[in-house]
Amino acid sequence: MWSPTHVQVTGGTNWAINLEKTKIRTEENSRSKLLLLSKLEAFLIFQRRKNTSPPLVNCLKQHSHLELIYAIADLQNKLNKEVKRQRDLEDYLDQLLLRVMETSPRILQNPYKKKENNLFS
């Protein structure tokens, strides 16, 4: 039973969004799922669908739900590794800068002034 507060998501772009909670019905492998979303969430989904390029949609339609989940998990792992790598590099640079500040802070002056070495005077 569909009321005006429901949005049916199919291949088209027919959307009806009301102020109350919105149910989105999605068809997947001949079974229906009902998701309870707020108006804002439904609007954001609509905007994402509207701005998605058709070649990207066609590319993603070729994959199964499970394949997409594996791809997302793989991308999440890669992102976590990159975040850890970036954090490690930042820590390394902080330690390096600290060592430079402790040993010879003069080279950090702007502009760099070389210490005069008057051995022959």
pLDDT digits (tens, 9 = 90+) for 24-83: 444 444 444 444 455 656 666 766 766 667 777 777 788 888 888 998 899 999 999 999
Evaluate if residue 17 carries a pLDDT over 70. no
Query: What's the confidence (pLDDT) of residue 120?
Result: 65
The 10s digit of each residue's pLDDT in 102-116 is: 998 888 888 767 767
Query: What's the confidence (pLDDT) of residue 19?
Result: 37
- Residue holding tokens 């793989």? 74
More confident residue, 56 or 13: 56
Query: What's the confidence (pLDDT) of residue 38?
Result: 59
Whole-number Cα distances in Å, 16 to 1, 5, 40, 46, 105? 15, 7, 13, 10, 65
Listed by start position, the domains of the chain span 1-52, 63-105
Query: What's the confidence (pLDDT) of residue 109?
Result: 82
Q: How many residues does the chain have?
A: 121
pLDDT band at 118 (very low <50, low <70, confident <90, very high): low
pLDDT band at 85 (very low <50, low <70, confident <90, very high): very high
Half-sphere CA count of 20, side-chain side, radius 13 A: 5
